[in-house]
Amino acid sequence: MKLKNKLAMLISAIALTACSNHTPPAGVTPVSPFNVSTYSGKWYEIARLDHSFEKGMSHVSAEYFPNADGSVKVINRGFSDAKNTWKEAVGRAKFVGDANTAHLKVSFFGPFYGDYIVFDLDEKYQHALVSGPNHSYLWLLSRQPTMPAEQVQALVAKAKAAGFDVTQLVYVQQGEVLAK
C-alpha cells in the first residue's frame, strides 16, 4: 500500500476516534471499583481483534504509569515480524468519568482520543478484557506472557457474551524474539 493511502487511512481512523462519544458498546460495562495504581505496570497481550496498527505484531505488551495530574502514561510495544524490528508508541490516557471506573480515553495522536474500557478484571489484577469504542476492538491482557488454556477460554466466553466476534481473535506470540 502506498504511503498516501496509508496516511489517508490513518487520518480517517483518527477522525472516527475523535468523533467518539465515549459511550461503551452494548454489553460492555466498565469495571468499578477500579484502582489505577494496582492496574499499573506491564501487561502482555494474549489475544486481540486485529487492526492495522497491530497487524503482524507479536510479543505485544502495554505498560501503564499514573501521572501526578491524574492521567496515565501508556507505552505499547510490539515486534514487527515483517520488518524484524521493535515498534513502540507512547500515549496518554485520561478517565472519562471518575477515577474509580475503568473507562478511559487514550491518545497516541495529540488531541485525538479513543476509548479504553476495562470490562473484566480479576480481583488480583492479573488478567483483563479491554474494549475500544465498539465491538471491533478487543484485547485480552495478562500480567504473564502466557495463560492456562482454560482461563483463556473462560475470558473468550465472557467477550463473546459481551457481543464480540471471538472467531476473529488473533492469539499473540509471546516469549523470545527469534532473529531472522
Confidence (pLDDT) at 4: 45
Mean pLDDT over 71-83 rounds to 94
User: What amino acid is encoded at 38 in this protein?
Assistant: T
Q: How many domains does the chain have?
A: 1
CA 73 to CA 25: how far, in whole Å? 24
Domain that holds residue 132: 30-171
Look at residue 14 and tell me if it is in a domain.
no
Query: Lowest-confidence range among 17-21, 60-64, 170-174?
Result: 17-21
Q: How far is CA 154 from CA 27, 62, 129, in A?
A: 17, 22, 11
pLDDT at 81 over 90: no
Instruction: With H, G, I as helix, E, B as strand and everything else as coil, classify residue 84.
Output: coil
Look at residue 42 and tell me if it is in a domain.
yes
- Which residue did the predictor score with more confidence, 80 or 7? 80
pTM, entire model? 0.85
Burial class of residue 72 (count of CB atoms within 10 Å of its CB; 0-12, 13-18, 19+): buried
Confidence (pLDDT) at 10: 42
Mean pLDDT over 92-103 rounds to 96
Reading the block at residue 126, the C-alpha cell is 492479573
Residue 51 belongs to domain with CATH number: 2.40.128.20
CA dihedral 100, 104, 108, 109 (to 10 degrees): -130
Query: Lowest-confidence range among 3-17, 113-127, 161-175?
Result: 3-17
- Taking only the tens place, the pLDDT of each residue in 28-46 is 999 999 999 999 999 999 9
Look at residue 5 and tell me if it is in a domain.
no
Query: Lowest-confidence range among 14-18, 38-42, 82-86, 133-137?
Result: 14-18
Q: How far is CA 140 from CA 9, 151, 178, in A?
A: 25, 11, 24
CA-based nearest residue to 109, from 94, 134, 90: 90
Confidence (pLDDT) at 42: 98
User: What amino acid is encoded at 98 in this protein?
Assistant: D
CA 13 to CA 153: how far, in whole Å? 31
- DSSP β-bridge partners for residue 80: 57, 85
Confidence (pLDDT) at 22: 79
Confidence (pLDDT) at 75: 96
- Taking only the tens place, the pLDDT of each residue in 110-165 is 788 899 999 999 999 999 999 999 999 999 999 999 999 999 999 999 999 999 99
Look at residue 82 and tell me if it is in a domain.
yes
Look at residue 140 and tell me if it is in a domain.
yes
